Structure 1
Amino acid sequence: MGNKNGGKTTIILRCLDRDEISKPTLALEYTFGRRAKGHNRPKDIAHFWELGGGTSLLDLIRIPITTDNIRAFAIILVLDLSKPNELWPTMDSLLRVTRNHVDKIITKLGKTNPKVATEIKQKMWNNMSKDHPDHELIDPFPIPLVMIGSKYDLFHEFDPEMRKIMCKTLRFISHYYGASLVFTSKSEALLLKARVLINHLAFGFDRSKSISVDQNKPLFIPAGLDSLNQIGPPPASDSDIGKLHAHTPVDLWKKIFNKTFPPKSTNDLKDVSDPAQDPQYAEYEVDAMRAQKNQELEQYKRNSSKSWKEMDFES
């Protein structure tokens, strides 16, 4: 899931070694991949669901995440680094809706299968050692989470101060939620880093322990390897921070980030193209019937409007 046109499909294809041209994702699309951990070993199967439309199709999130697969599920959140004004609204909406749905599933499991619910809650802390200095200060996402900052090549052209704010903010968010963070572009070397993180979750390959926190280079930070001390305070003066009324650490970082990058007021629903108007899906009989039904609907609206105006509503 993530920004519309953020590169989600390309990342999936590269992870599955498919040399295909990516196409726009219409709604919720499914594919799968097979991979073996060694010679003469059976291949594992990983199922990939891709949510299209940015934040306009949030209701579809609940379809692939179920009580049957919750223990093996992971979220890959792709954020377009070239669109900083859309970054926070996209991230916040997708993670909030996903977390609410996952929490409901865990609560339900707690009543029917408390052992599994407890296992999921304990697994949240797998990447964070008990002696980590931030153990009591973070709030891990209920299922594994990888945050991918795409289009690093465009992001690298930003003003250094803007890059600093975005890097620090994404480091804080990913660390606070117990997530891995990686920056990618069309570069095969950077896509390989994202592939390493995804293959660890999808096929059980070894977890990478390398780390890159230099804001002048692409970030690569596996879950649990960063710290609030290394990230530092929010990128704002003490006086500015003191004027902000925030209820949580995330809320504080949100206010500071949005001050630099005001959220873009967009209606994602309007941006989603109508598949019915796409020539590649044209079917004469279906389209003719659809046109007829649209005319009937418009006529119904006009007739209803007239009848409503003639009605004498009681106060």
Structure 2
Amino acid sequence: MPRASEALWELAQAEAERGGDAEGAAEKALLFLGSKAGGKTTIILRCLDREEIPKPTLALEYTFGRRAKGHNTPKDIAHFWELGGGTSLLELTRIPITSDNIRTFAIVLVLDLSKPSELWSTMESLLQVTRNHLNKLITKLGKTNPKVATEIREKMWNSMQKDHPDYELIDPFPIPLVIIGSKYDIFHEFDSEMRKIICKTLRFVSHYYGASLVFTGKPDTLLLKARILINHLAFGFERSKSISVDQNKPLFIPAGLDSLSQIGPPPASDSDIGKLYAHTPLDLWKKVYEKTFPPMRNSDLKDSKDPALDPQYAEYEIDAMRTQKNQELEQYKRNASKSWKEMELES
């Protein structure tokens, strides 16, 4: 029986072959990750003009889309991967992105603005794991295909003009990154000071990573700007040069169009900042942010529901086998515990 990752790849390859016969058709891929129930599936469906009712993403899911840039031109193909479960399935981020396709990939990080206490930890965990994986791939390519590795490292800086005042101060993500703040309709009802802190923090993080930033929510008209950014990455459509930095409106800041001078310092008094010990500017912003919005530890573990226990996925034979395996695992744990205790007594 093939592994889930193999089955997903076979599906992706089959769809690419089916739609990629036209000469000159390009292929890109995007990995959507972020807050649990943050609206990733809805964003993907709307970007592909599908009116389906979104269903919860259980692990790693795949779909695709085709678009032509003009009349009588071949349709380009975009592969859309979505990681479900918030931060509970971090290891799956390694499956879609490989050394063979890293040059065509982009990351879309969706953060739930209505849950500010989970925002930083979700962002940090997902970007850290993804960046570590990307860096390993680039290091590997440096040994097997140095030309491609150099191309990726140079492309990291494409969104930032060399004469930008912050050119030496940022740390761009290895591949294109879009940060989407979802549920703006709820966020808009927050206290103005809370909104200011969240907006400034996300502006700094996005600028620091050389990423684009956009806020979305209900109604669907708020998704239009996000679609522009995603269509640019997925199908090569023209990139928007408009910008909106007003904290009283949905933010829209394409990569490279913000600046540290416009963002300003972390939202805290000089005396408070002086008391904080931070290794990097990013670490300083994190400490200031978490002082206002203390992180909820293990929030994903507390809130997540095991799909295996969901009645809608019930299958008698599989469930019976799972119960047996769980019992065997518990017995193994008890036996292992006994053997360690015996070893301790003997010693």
Residue deviations 1:194-237, cap 9 Å, x none? 01100100100000001000001000000000111111111111
Query: For the residues of structure 2 that align with 1:29 and 1:86, how far apart are their CA atoms?
Result: 23
Partner of 2:284: 252
Q: Does 2:166 align with 1:134?
A: yes
Q: Please report the TM-score for the alignment, with normalisation by the length of structure 2.
A: 0.87
Query: For the residues of structure 1 that align with 2:339 and 2:260, how far apart are their CA atoms?
Result: 64
The equivalent position to 2:97 in structure 1, one of 65, 78, 85, is 65
**What letter matches 1:69 in structure 2?**
N
Deviation (angstroms), 1:101: 0.7
Change (3 A) 1:136 1:20: same
**What letter matches 1:225 in structure 2?**
L
Q: Does 2:322 align with 1:290?
A: yes
Change (3 A) 1:296 1:248: closer
Residue deviations 1:39-91, cap 9 Å, x none? 11111111111111111111111111100110010000000000000000000
Partner of 2:10: none
Query: For the residues of structure 1 that align with 2:211 and 2:250, how far apart are their CA atoms?
Result: 16
Partner of 2:345: 313
Q: Does 2:237 align with 1:202?
A: no
**What letter matches 1:132 in structure 2?**
H
Partner of 1:145: 177
* Further displaced range: 81-90 or 34-43: 34-43
* Further displaced range: 90-99 or 293-302: 293-302
Aligned to 1:74, the other structure's residue is in SS state strand
Query: For the residues of structure 2 that align with 1:176 and 1:301, how far apart are their CA atoms?
Result: 45
Q: Does 2:82 align with 1:50?
A: yes
Change (3 A) 1:304 1:182: closer
**What letter matches 1:117 in structure 2?**
A
Deviation (angstroms), 1:272: 3.0
The equivalent position to 1:173 in structure 2, one of 205, 209, 224, is 205
Query: For the residues of structure 2 that align with 1:114 and 1:304, how far apart are their CA atoms?
Result: 47
Change (3 A) 1:164 1:105: same
Partner of 2:25: none
Deviation (angstroms), 1:271: 3.3
Query: For the residues of structure 1 that align with 2:168 and 2:211, how far apart are their CA atoms?
Result: 16
Q: Please report the TM-score for the alignment, with normalisation by the length of structure 1.
A: 0.95
Aligned to 1:14, the other structure's residue is in SS state helix
Query: For the residues of structure 2 that align with 1:126 and 1:71, how far apart are their CA atoms?
Result: 13
Residue deviations 1:8-33, cap 9 Å, x none? 01000011111101111111111111
Query: For the residues of structure 1 that align with 2:339 and 2:171, how far apart are their CA atoms?
Result: 55
CA RMSD of aligned residues (A): 1.7
Structure 1 gaps, min length 5? none
Stretches (4+) displaced over 4 A: 296-312
Query: For the residues of structure 1 that align with 2:337 and 2:145, how far apart are their CA atoms?
Result: 53
Partner of 1:226: 258
Deviation (angstroms), 1:265: 1.3
Change (3 A) 1:187 1:296: same
Deviation (angstroms), 1:268: 2.1
Partner of 1:261: 293
Deviation (angstroms), 1:294: 3.4
* Further displaced range: 296-305 or 280-289: 296-305
Partner of 1:212: 244
TM alignment of 1:66-215, pairs within 5 A: 66-215=98-247
Change (3 A) 1:112 1:255: same
Change (3 A) 1:295 1:255: closer
* Count of paired positions: 315
Q: Does 2:49 align with 1:17?
A: yes
* Further displaced range: 302-311 or 151-160: 302-311
Query: For the residues of structure 2 that align with 1:173 and 1:309, how far apart are their CA atoms?
Result: 49
Q: Give yes or no for contact 2:58–2:84 (8 Å, CA) kept in 1.
A: yes
Query: For the residues of structure 2 that align with 1:203 and 1:47, how far apart are their CA atoms?
Result: 10
Aligned to 2:283, the other structure's residue is in SS state helix
